[in-house]
Amino acid sequence: MSKTITGFSKLSKSQKINWVVDTYFTNKEDAKRILKQYWNTNEKLQQLHDEFIENTITNYYLPLGIAPNFLINGAMYTMPMAIEESSVVAAASKAAKFWLDRGGFKTSVISTTKVGQVHFTYNGNSGDLELFFKQIKTRFFQDAKPITKNMEKRGGGIIDIELKNKTNALKNYYQLHATFETLDAMGANFINSCLEQFATTLKREASLVLKGDLDVVMSILSNYVPECLVRAEVSCPVEDLTEGSTISGQEFANKFVQAVTIAEVEPYRAVTHNKGIMNGIDAVVLATGNDFRAIEAGVHAYASKTGEYSSLSHAEIKDGIFKFWMELPLALGTVGGLTGLHPLVKLALELLGKPSAKELMQIVAVAGLAQNFAALRSLTTTGIQQGHMKMHLMNILNQFAANDNEKQVLTKRFKTETVSHSAVVEALENLRSNYGFDSAQPPTKSHKSPKV
């Protein structure tokens, strides 16, 4: 069967499934069964998902977990987290509980400005272009009025438009660099519509006045939003840091600060350190229907703002107080996009008390800081594998189709033993060969034999 197809998008859902199954799968019935297993029996709900994107053939599930006990600026929150990685939700919950007893998280929004650009070339005199821009600047605002009217009524809109001469970087290259306030909307559609209108105005006015050729290359928002910044912080006396641990608060604080400093100076470590932060951030961003790719791109660019990739978080010990904080750009929305469409997103936002975009920025920043705290706490004390493998135990058991009884027996056993893939597989094999002795139930037909 040919792997090339024309007119694919015009096929019905079942025709698309038939094509992909016939073209790519050996066990066609099995492939179809799996795809169907993930459809929603509620037709309306399924149609909603079908229509989020093109060529939908089924749904791809991620677990939605919750991490309770987050105290943020004196209010309690339970975080909704959509993530597949074991131990992230458990780590978030642990960090939340830890800081709940120590005053909780303090957050503030530093700024909410978003950016968009019209990229264009001009081969005439740059002085003429600058003068032209000054003369027509108000037209950009006037022409965009039909787009900005409603946003302005609510207190947002276009903040400013600047002409930027980038000809040192690239021959004839200029930009209209515009800044926006989009309130509770992430604002991508609003910004892009404004920018496309700016481009139209620019071309029209240039054709009337300018001598040289002006050519618009593209108009698009930027996901780099260093002026859409939020800060999250925790602090407590150093001696309050230990919790039933063998090391002192001072020892822990010193090691923790050292771990953060390493991520500040060493890019290889900084990437992993920041990945841990993004474990928390992405999970809440995804659960609340925001664009995690945009957030990832913007955050990692911000981590390189000095020219060297570095840690997003910082820590210090001053006058006996341990302080751990982070500032990062988060362009989030709580209206528009998926937020009004996806039932689980609506549910997640309600769980968070229907936050404004500013509140959501603070909640998400806390999820990142908490996750980073939990990771560094494990890394600098027990090591990450102890907790991680405990959480991973269930994944290994599921991989080998362990039944409820086997899960129960082995979870109990590995409470006191070190979890490793081979140790779990061996234990499962032993249990199965001795079932009736260790296990109250015989393995079911679906049991696969573990192979390492």
Give the interface with ligand MEV as residue ranges (CB under 6 A). Answer: 85, 272-273, 275-276, 279, 375, 379, 384
Read off the DSSP letter of residue 447: P
Q: Choose between 90 and 384: whose C-beta lies nearer to ligand MEV.
A: 384
**Identified catalytic residue from 291, 342, 358, 359:** 291
Nearest to ligand MEV of 296, 438 (CB atom)? 296
**Nearest distance from residue 327's CB to ligand MEV, in Å?**
18
User: Would you say 270 or 345 has its CB closer to ligand MEV?
Assistant: 270
Residues paired with residue 317 on neighbouring β-strands, in sequence order: 322
Q: Beta-carbon neighbour count of residue 166 at 10 Å?
A: 14
Choose between 362 and 380: whose C-beta lies nearer to ligand MEV: 380
The least distance separating ligand MEV from the CB of residue 273, rounded to whole angstroms, comes to: 5
Is 85 catalytic? The answer is yes
Asked about 54 being catalytic, the answer comes back as no
* Alpha carbon 447 to its chain's center: 36
Q: How far is the CB of 398 from ligand MEV (least distance, A)?
A: 19
Residue 215 in contact with residue 120, Cβ under 8 Å? yes
And the tokens for 61? 């599930």
Tell me if residue 184 is catalytic.
no
- Find the catalytic residue in 50, 388, 392, 406: 388
* Catalytically annotated residue among 106, 275, 314, 447: 275
d(CA 305, CA 446): 53
How is residue 240 annotated by DSSP? Answer: G
| Number of residue whose CB is nearest ligand MEV | 276
**Own/partner pairs, 238-245, CB within 8 angstroms, 24+ separation:** 238/317, 238/320, 238/321, 238/322, 239/320, 240/102, 241/322, 243/98, 245/381
Amino acid present at 160: D
Which ranges of 51-125 does DSSP label H, i.e. alpha helix? 88-100
Q: C-beta of 396: minimal distance to ligand MEV in Å?
A: 17
Q: Select 83 or 363, whichever has its Cβ closest to ligand MEV.
A: 83
In the complex, minimum distance from the CB of residue 67 to ligand MEV, in angstroms, rounded to a whole number = 15
Q: At 160, which helix (H) or strand (E)?
A: strand 157-165
Catalytic site residue from 85, 316, 327, 429? 85
407 a catalytic residue: no
Positions marked active-site: 85, 275, 291, 388
